[in-house]
Structure 1
Amino acid sequence: MEVGVERILPNTTPLIQPMDQGSILAFKALYTHNTLQHLVVAMESDQDFSLKDYWRECNIVKDQHKVVHT
């Protein structure tokens, strides 16, 4: 099995692969929705909730399960 690799010019991916834009937009929307939903649940369930601490701990790599398991 052979795999071909080609170099492309910077910023040409959206032109070559238009689906990327839609996929990225959908991911961002779902991630934002789920993060804010999780934020509301955290605020309602914890009396000592700190928004500053919540955002400090927020990490897209750590929180990717919010999108993957939806």
Structure 2
Amino acid sequence: MRPTEWTWKYEDADGRPVDGDEAVFPTQSDAETWIGEAWRGLRQRGVENAHLWADGAKVYGPLSLRPAD
């Protein structure tokens, strides 16, 4: 069975949770496209890392939102 809800959870540089956009995506691709477009705004709010979740199970993370050098 395929996941039906893909969401992001966020943390600051110390690993503490940060409230972010509570968007729910229908596919992993949609969620990843969105983070690729939204990461700058999240960084401005103090988000350092993001974790992708599908139906309440962690898929991967931490994904650094710092720009590559």
Instruction: Normalising by structure 2, report the TM-score.
Output: 0.27
Select the structure of larger CA radius of gyration. Answer: 1
**Which structure has more strand as a fraction of its residues?**
2
**Which structure has more helix as a fraction of its residues?**
1
